[in-house]
Amino acid sequence: MRLKLYLLLTVLFISFEGFAQDRYTVKGTVKDAATGDLMPFATVFFAETTFGTATDDQGNYTLTVSNPGTYDFIVKFVGYKTYATQLKLGDQAEITMDVLIEADARSLGDVVVTAKKDAKWQEHMREFRLIFFGESANARQCKILNEEVIDFIFDEEKVILEAFSSEPLIIENKALGYKIQYFLEHFEVNYTANISSYYGYTVFEELKSKSQRKINRWEANRKKAYDGSAVHFFTSLYENRLKEDGFFVQVAKDVTGMGRLIDAKDANVYQFLRGGTTDISKRLPFENLLYVTYDKEFESREYQEVKSRRSIGHASVSRLVKQPQQSWISIMDGFESIEFEPNGYVYNPVSFYSAGYWGFEKIAEMIPLDYRPKSDN
């Protein structure tokens, strides 16, 4: 069964690059909240970046970044609840953060966990890879190096598949040149509603190579992943560069009996912008849908095959159509706007839903959110 809707909820936190390239340090200790014992070898990182470390044998850590801005500060240790808080760096060169983490008392109760490596586990694993990595060319070059840590629960009555892991998934992305630790917080496939959702915390490490040709290929692929992405869009919107950067925005709405109506003219989305809750953020309130077209890159063959399969039941793309990438976004219930910073960092990534090309791009297209194309550095 193919899912009509992919919902990727990934916590997005990016360094703000509008200031000078200084160094900012966060340091402290990690302790057990109940006993006060020091926690050696806990993982400490800023989510979705390359900034990560581990506590030493005395539970101490030091984490240094080169850019000020808003970050999601995460502490992970097997058997303990995730510690997550938002930090804004820039006012002080050094911050002390002593962290207390709580043991995770959750249990699976009476649920049945799929036995590892049997036929059913393999079937669930294939579905997990498809939803997690996607179907792009990059996805074929991604591999989870420790799949054995993933467990599955399938609720036959509700027809829901869940996946979980007490250890980080170790992912190798040979297309973009990254080794990734992905701390899976949630993964669910609802086959009745045709909806999948997953989210987690990610820390990146660049792969090493002595081949300059391979390094150049990684950089080219990273730039391609960034160009036209949601992060690129919000950065361009903040800087009033949508047209120059290749974005065209239209207003759309669903009308009963008439389907989806898309206004042909440019929406002049700048008119919607409002001041944010901080001195550097802006808010984008809007109704219904915004269609975002990126005309500096065409849709990939893989994306056109997915569209063909959904429309006629099988992939039939004999010739690649030169179609600009198009995505659409809507504000989720309970939110009035999307708030973001100059670098494209969205304060609450679950405040909006994206589909189309942005919905097609999965973990295989993810790059660290402190990344910028070399021409922009």
Whichever domain contains 47, its CATH number is: 2.60.40.1120
Residue where the block lists tokens 């694993």: 125
Residue 272 lies in a domain: yes
The domain in which residue 181 lies consists of 107-206
Is residue 150 within 8 A of residue 208, CB to CB? The reply is: no
Residues 181 and 134 both lie in one domain? yes
- In a shared domain, residues 123 and 48: no
Is residue 7 domain-resident? no
356 to 135, 216, 329: CA distances (angstroms): 14, 29, 9
Q: What is the pLDDT of residue 195?
A: 85
Statement to judge: residues 190 and 234 lie in one domain: no
Q: Are residues 230 and 348 in the same domain?
A: yes
Cα separation, 289 vs 354, whole angstroms:
10
Residue 365 in domain: no
**159 and 39 within one domain:** no
Q: What is the pLDDT of residue 369?
A: 80
Q: Does 69 share its domain with 116?
A: no
Do residues 348 and 231 both lie within one domain? yes
Q: Are residues 235 and 351 in the same domain?
A: yes
Q: What pLDDT score was predicted for residue 106?
A: 62
Establish if 261 belongs to a structural domain.
Answer: yes
Give the residues across from 201 on adjacent strands.
Answer: 183
User: Using alpha carbons only, what angle is made at residue 225 by residues 331 and 195, rounded to the nearest 5 degrees?
Assistant: 45
194 shares a domain with 274: no
* 11 in any annotated domain: no
Half-sphere exposure of 367 (CA within 13 A, CB side): 22
pTM for this entry: 0.82
* pLDDT averaged per 10 residues, the chain (length 377): 40 38 87 96 94 96 87 92 89 93 70 69 95 95 96 94 94 97 94 90 95 96 95 95 97 91 94 90 95 96 86 57 93 94 84 93 90 72
Domain count, the chain: 3
Residue 216 maps to a domain:
no
246: number of CA atoms within 13 Å, CB side?
A: 14
Model pLDDT for residues 35-56, shown as the tens digit of each residue: 999 999 999 999 989 999 999 9
Q: What does the pLDDT look like over 204-224, one tens digit per residue?
A: 999 999 999 999 999 999 999
Whole-angstrom distance, CA of residue 315 vs CA of residue 303: 10
Same domain, 230 and 353: yes
Dist. CA 133–CA 257, nearest whole Å: 36
- Residue 270: helix, strand or coil by DSSP? helix
Q: Enumerate residues 6+ apart whose C-beta is below 8 A from 211.
A: none
CA dist., res. 32 & res. 80, Å (int) = 9
Indicate if 235 and 342 belong to the same structural domain: yes
Confirm whether 316 is domain-assigned. yes
Handedness of CA 288, 6, 132, 229 (dihedral sign): negative
